[in-house]
């Protein structure tokens, strides 16, 4: 497994390039849509602190900058960072490449059934880090 901090600079770029070739590439490039997806993902997550954070971001009661400065959420962000450092970029890149190959005819708003869910890495920054958390359908 490759950890984020141990990954050569080309590895994240490889992953992003693979995602860019999927139906979700245009979604990832759309900052407003991407942020909305992150907020909704937090809100629908299992962690009550994550849900609170997502609601505050979505409602505009806190900006991302203010959120990062809030001491109440530092433990949540420490846990998220620890999970991100365990992220297997090779598995994610492989899954993204498979979606790009299997689903070249889909549009971002109408993905094929094979790509309706997030890559099955088992990783999410919304759980406690001990159990895999699988998101629902991507929107």
pLDDT (tens digit per residue) in 105-123: 555 554 444 334 443 333 3
Dihedral sign (CA 69, 13, 26, 120): negative
CA 1: distance to chain centroid?
18
DSSP letter, residue 104: T
pLDDT tens profile 68-103: 999 999 999 999 999 988 988 788 778 877 876 765
What is the average per-residue pLDDT within 8-18? 68
Tokens at 93, concatenated: 């890149």
Strand segments (E) across the chain: none
CA 49: distance to chain centroid?
17
Residue 28: exposure state from Cβ atoms within 10 A (0-12, 13-18, ≥19): middle
For the chain, what is the mean pLDDT?
73
Tokens at 56, concatenated: 């505050």
* The model scores a pTM over 0.95: no
């Amino acid at each position: 497994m490759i950890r984020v901090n141990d990954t050569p600079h080309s590895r994240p770029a490889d992953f992003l390039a693979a995602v860019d070739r999927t139906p979700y590439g245009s979604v990832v490039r759309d900052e407003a849509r991407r942020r909305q997806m992150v907020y909704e993902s937090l809100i629908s997550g299992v962690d009550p602190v994550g849900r609170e954070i997502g609601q505050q971001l979505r409602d505009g009661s806190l900006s991302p900058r203010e959120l990062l400065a809030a001491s109440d959420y530092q433990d949540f962000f420490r846990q998220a960072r620890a999970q991100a450092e365990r992220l297997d970029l090779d598995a994610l890149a492989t899954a993204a490449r498979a979606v790009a190959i299997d689903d070249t005819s889909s549009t971002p708003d109408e993905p094929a059934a094979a790509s309706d869910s997030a890559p099955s890495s088992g990783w999410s920054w919304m759980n406690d880090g001990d159990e895999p958390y699988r998101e629902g359908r991507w929107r």
